[in-house]
A and B are shown apart, each in its own frame.
Chain A
């Protein structure tokens, strides 16, 4: 696991308000909910880059929203869990949502991601992978989008 998710897990073990605050932060633009600052800022102390700061706040909120006590099963990438959900529900809308997510720009991404993660509450998401992929979201080669697409379609085709 990356340092950030470990950090959040340790905070969660010590303070029961962590997840509630971070979950509420999803209603605001990432990094715009002051009550969440004490839980994220210490990890970002030297980080000035705007996108990296937004991604950390977003992932923190999504992690909190998705967290379940005693969740089992190996954690997988977002592409893989979307594929699993697609196969389990046989719903045509899952693929459409997934495509829409891949097409999101920086402004659209938080909202679409929030909706998608909400849909996947039964699946175990690898948040380290999520963080890594979101940090590279604006890469010219679209490596994150391609990787998730590969994970999705290799499981569903």
Chain B
């Protein structure tokens, strides 16, 4: 018997524009999108996956957009409720979470495989032997979960499966940043992300997972390309079947390897890319020792075409009007180190979008230059730390081993303090990038912040070690030169940018 239809049942967590929270089905989420402020789940992976899933539904329901004019029409007039309702009515039978033939995003052909605890659906819940501090689930005997929770994790599994080898492929998204431009309501957010197909032909080849017959196992092709955005946004990286208990909850699932994703030539609209000298176009990912804001310029559109298409599209939809620009960008995703199939960390961060983007095509270059200034200053700081470490470890008699040096430098608090001081200021800078603000002014203030952060980071370090023995004092004094040179260099540039007072 079919149970829990995702079109009607309440499973998508949303915050309404009046601040209250609800859970809605697919239809209400889309038709009431102007009343919804945002989709919000404690898991950033679920939040990201729900956006992608709803976009997949929209791409199929609207059969487009296939050009910017169609996209602008939807942005202005709202999501066409009748088309959405008609589509959902047509495919209603494919949205039952529990069904004898077509359980949503699942495959009955895996019914005979071994049962696994439901935690296998969640990338955040590592196996018992690799638990992270605040994860209290046990993978051997977890308690049963509600259908709505399993539905959320199911869509997240499709987007965020990671590979541990043994025939298990990754989803399209692991180790990549995902960028969702946020509007004043969910309608705007979805429109910003509804990047037009290249043409109608591409649209006509697209299909969504629920529209296709479940694959027979073993799969005919281990890896394939996505045939369109709807296909990409709910990718069957795993073949899953939920085991429904008499209570309606889920304790175990069937879980086997799914369809591998061929990344070559793919361009996920939500991802920023960079050009690698040897490997060409590569997605920008998270790094453990590098905060996201330091790569923020990679999210901003310019002529290179490397920024996320969602943000480019959002700027085009705004059409030069600041009040139509996204209010912020949500950047989220996870990081893991293959072949170890354990999540190292996941992130969810929010950034203001510079208003100047509405009419200034050079914002990316300008922001990139600001970030380069910060990186350059940090190199001086690092050099100072290296010299300090060298003289502490060896007193100048011999060059210490590289690994000893780098280990010493890594445990110094200098650079982390420097970056954390600049991070909060960077968020303010983004907010200051208005249409009428002089970019030289922003640069001057940023240079001042960088110089101050550089100086203060080193001063704090010096104060912390100055009480040490004479060799430590010697080490810190000998290490100061790169910091002072950089401080002087920044000071000279600040002076050039400082407006001269007119002499009457």
A-to-B contact residues, CB < 8 Å: 99-103, 140-143, 145-146, 149-150, 152-154, 157
Contacts and interface: CB of A to CB of B under 8 A. Distances in A.
A120 B463 CA distance: 30
The 4 A-B residue pairs with the shortest CB-CB distance, nearest first, are A102-B470, A103-B470, A153-B477, A149-B477
A59 B47 CA distance: 72
Given A101-B470, A140-B467, A152-B477, 13 more contacts: A100-B470, A102-B474, A103-B470, A141-B463, A141-B467, A143-B466, A146-B466, A146-B473, A149-B474, A149-B477, A150-B477, A150-B480, A153-B474
B255 to A, nearest CB: 61
Given A102-B473, A142-B473, A145-B473, A153 B478 contact: yes
A142 B481 CA distance: 20
A146 B469 CA distance: 10
A141 B462 CA distance: 10
Interface in B455-495: 462-463, 466-467, 469-471, 473-474, 476-478, 480-481
A142 B477 contact: no
A142 B470 CA distance: 10
B459 to A, nearest CB: 12
5 contacts: A141-B466, A142-B473, A146-B466, A157-B478, A157-B481
Nearest to A157: B478
Nearest to A101: B470
Contacts of A142: 466-467, 473
Nearest to A141: B466
B461 to A, nearest CB: 13
Contacts of A143: 466
A100 to B, nearest CB: 7
B interface residue count range (under 10 / 10 to 19 / 20 to 34 / 35 or more): 10 to 19
B467, B477, B481: most-surrounded residue (chain A CB, <10 A): B477
Contact of B470 (A99, A140, A141): A99
A71 B466 CA distance: 35
A18 B473 CA distance: 37
Contacts of B469: 103
Which of B462, B466, B481 has the most chain A CB atoms closer than 10 A to its own CB?
Answer: B466
Nearest to A153: B477
B465 to A, nearest CB: 10
A149 B481 contact: no
Contacts of B466: 141-143, 146
A143 B469 CA distance: 12
Contacts of B476: 146
B478 A99 contact: no
B470 A149 contact: yes
Given A157-B478, A157-B481, A149 B473 contact: yes
Contact of B474 (A99, A140, A141, A154): A99
B481 A145 contact: no
A153 B477 CA distance: 7
Nearest to B478: A153
A101 B473 CA distance: 12
Contacts of A99: 470-471, 474
Contacts of B473: 102, 142, 145-146, 149
A142 B467 CA distance: 6
Of A100, A140, A150, A153, most B-chain CB atoms within 10 Å: A153
A85 B182 CA distance: 66
Interface centre among A103, A140, A143, A149 (most CB of B within 10 A): A149
Nearest to A103: B470
Contacts of A157: 478, 481
Contacts of B474: 99, 102, 149, 153
Contacts of A103: 469-471
Nearest to B395: A99
Interface string B145-185: 00000000000000000000000000000000000000000
A145 B462 CA distance: 13
Nearest to A100: B470
A56 B476 CA distance: 30
Nearest to A151: B477
Contacts of B470: 99-103, 145, 149
A93 B471 CA distance: 15
Interface in B404-442: none
A124 to B, nearest CB: 23
B485 to A, nearest CB: 12
A99 B462 CA distance: 18
B394 to A, nearest CB: 14
A118 to B, nearest CB: 20
Which of B466, B470, B471, B480 counts the most A-chain CB atoms under 10 A from its CB? B470
A103 B467 CA distance: 11
Contacts of B481: 157
A96 to B, nearest CB: 10
Contacts of A150: 477, 480
Nearest to B484: A154
A100 B466 CA distance: 16
A140 B463 CA distance: 10
Interface in B203-253: none
Contacts of A152: 477
A99 B475 CA distance: 11
Nearest to B396: A95
Contacts of B467: 140-142
Contacts of B471: 99, 103
Contacts of A153: 474, 477-478
A100 B473 CA distance: 12
A40 B20 CA distance: 81
B473 to A, nearest CB: 5
A102 B473 CA distance: 9
Interface string B278-318: 00000000000000000000000000000000000000000
A101 B471 CA distance: 11
B462 to A, nearest CB: 8
Nearest to B473: A149
